[in-house]
Amino acid sequence: MRRLWLVLALAACATSEKMGDRVNPETPLWYTHPSGDLDVFARRQLTMDTRVAGEPYEHGKPELDTAHNRVFVGSSDRGLYALRSSNLSTIWRFETANIVQCEPLYDRELDVVYFGSHDGGLYAVRASDGALVFRFNSGSEVSKKPVLYGESLIFANASDQLFSVDRRTGKPQWQVHRSPAAGMELAGYSGPALDHGKVYFAFSDGHVGAFDARDGSEKWAPVDLAAEAEQSSGDQTQRYLDVDTTPIVADIAPIGRVVFVASYTGGVHALDAENGSRVWVNEKVAGVNDLMYFDQRSHVPHPNGPDTGGPRAPEKRLLLASSAQTGLSALDPTNGHQVWRLPIPEGGITAPAVVAGAIVFGSSRYGLFLINPENGRVIDGIDTDTGFSASPATFGNRAYVLSNTGAMMAIGIDTPLGKRPDLPR
């Protein structure tokens, strides 16, 4: 039986100790509150415990093929699964030599799924039956989602290498490499972001670069996001210099086209997409492992409600930063100022995703949560007693997510706007 949790007062977790606060110091002040906005309509144990290799966590975000009602997701049991979105039954499973913690990429034109494995391979398999198309050996784990540029497939591995291969054959086209950092590094790393023929990529030594998607040549010199943090510490070997967030590119009026990226030590940065110059930085939001850009257009709040003729809701833009240190922070994308922050008492949190006008994210200790983008307040939640490290994948009013114990869940979201038949159940 699932349990639903709602934050009564997250801020109370950081207040001074009062009588009764330490009855159970491991648990924050959270209360059962079954609002019913999250509905688990399908659930199954996906990961096979007997085949699990390595860490007892699941980090792979699912990929959705909405046209054919398929869900593709990797697992720590070394396999990539294709599931039916209606009931999560297995269509096929493809096995690799190590765990699969990579978000797959579905190529609609070729009906092919691309994904990486910790065995160092970048795989292409047929989406219809899981048959192998090609495998490219990168020499190091591949756990970030690839991107497509024409006939090229561009991806990164954990050794600060950026590759471009032919999307049909896996034949190598170009490669970019930067020597790993001399100091300490975290386990994660960045993935590539593609925009207007440029590939933006971040390295473990704190640098961010832009490269021509056609041949890998530099479009602007790599920018060191951790330079100021190194100088202030006086000892760079004791700092985490990593940039583990995949860059995000967006047009932000009035500042123009920018690249959002975060350094674990140096905070969240906005860089000019053309030349890499700094637009703004928020150094207070540290330890960021994921970024997400929320862009909600102006709309009628309740199109089917009694106030149809009322004023339109204004446009809402937020840059959301996930951090085990500072929680989930919503920043103004024009200047980096904090709009709201949802502190997480313990553990890490996943990258958020937009679903039915709200935001959903997972916590490694406290389950899955649906929150209001206006103020960060929790609408509803699901506690599975295991937590989530994998980010949810969403479409319409549905979310798909894999728990840390390998339980795959399909969740329907009923918002105050009423039920939306985006996908048949």
Answer yes or no: is 400 within a domain: no
Within 13 Å of residue 138, how many CA atoms lie on the same side as its CB? Answer: 33
Residue 401 located in a structural domain: no
Q: Per-residue pLDDT averaged across 116-145, rounded?
A: 97
For residues 418 and 214, the model is more confident at: 214
**Tell me, what's the pLDDT at 424?**
35
pLDDT, residue 325, reads 87
117 CB-contact burial (10 Å; exposed 0-12 / middle 13-18 / buried 19+) = buried
- The residue with greater pLDDT, 309 or 149, is 149
pLDDT tens for each residue of 27-80: 333 334 445 688 899 999 999 887 776 666 899 999 999 999 999 999 999 999
Number of domains composing the chain:
1
**Between residues 183 and 221, the one the model is more confident about:** 221
pLDDT tens-digit map of 98-115: 999 999 999 999 999 999
Q: Is there a domain that residue 88 lies in?
A: yes
Least confident of 56-60, 165-169, 330-334, 386-390: 56-60
pLDDT average, residue stretch 329-357: 92
Confidence of residue 206 (pLDDT cuts 50, 70, 90): confident
pLDDT band for 20, please (50, 70, 90 cuts): very low
What is the overall mean pLDDT for the chain?
83
> Tokens representing 182?
């001399």
CB within 8 A of 153, min separation 6: which ones?
Answer: 114, 122, 124, 146, 147, 164, 165, 166, 167
Poorest-pLDDT segment among 81-95, 220-234, 275-289, 377-391: 220-234
Q: pLDDT class for 310, splitting at 50, 70, 90?
A: low
| DSSP per position, 248-317 | EEEEETTTEEEEEEEETTTEEEEEETTT--EEEEETTS-SEEEEEEEEE--B-S-TTSTTTTSPPBPPEE
Range(s) of the domain holding residue 149: 62-177
Out of 49-53, 118-122, 321-325, the most confident range is 118-122
For residue 423, the model assigns a pLDDT of: 37
Q: What pLDDT, on a 0 to 100 scale, did the predictor assign at position 25?
A: 33
The verdict on residue 111 lying in a domain is yes
Q: What is the pLDDT of residues 368-422, one digit of tens each?
A: 999 999 999 888 888 877 789 999 999 999 999 999 999 999 999 876 544 444 4
Least confident of 14-23, 205-214, 314-323, 334-343: 14-23
Q: What's the average model confidence in pLDDT over 290-303?
A: 76
Q: Is residue 25 part of a domain?
A: no
Q: Is residue 94 part of a domain?
A: yes
- Residue 331 · residue 339 · CB < 8 Å: yes
Which range is least confidently modeled, 18-32, 154-168, 388-402? 18-32
In this predicted structure, which of 129-133, 232-236, 250-254 has the lowest mean pLDDT? 232-236
Would you say how long the chain is, in residues? 425
Establish if 77 belongs to a structural domain: yes
What is the side-by-side strand order in the sheet with 207-212? Answer: 193-195, 198-202, 207-212, 218-224
* Euclidean distance between CA atoms 297 and 117, whole angstroms: 37
CATH number for position 118: 2.40.128.630
Split at pLDDT 50, 70, 90, the class of 231 is: low
> Domain for residue 39, yes or no?
no
**Percent residues over pLDDT 70 in the chain:** 78
CA-to-CA separations, 409 to 87, 116, 284, 420, 423, in angstroms, rounded: 9, 22, 35, 19, 15
> Which of 138-152, 352-366, 374-388 has the lowest average pLDDT?
374-388
Q: What is the DSSP letter of 413?
A: E
Task: Among 11-15, 232-236, 361-365, name the most confident range.
Answer: 361-365
**What is the secondary structure of 353-371 as a DSSP string?**
EEETTEEEEEETTTEEEEE
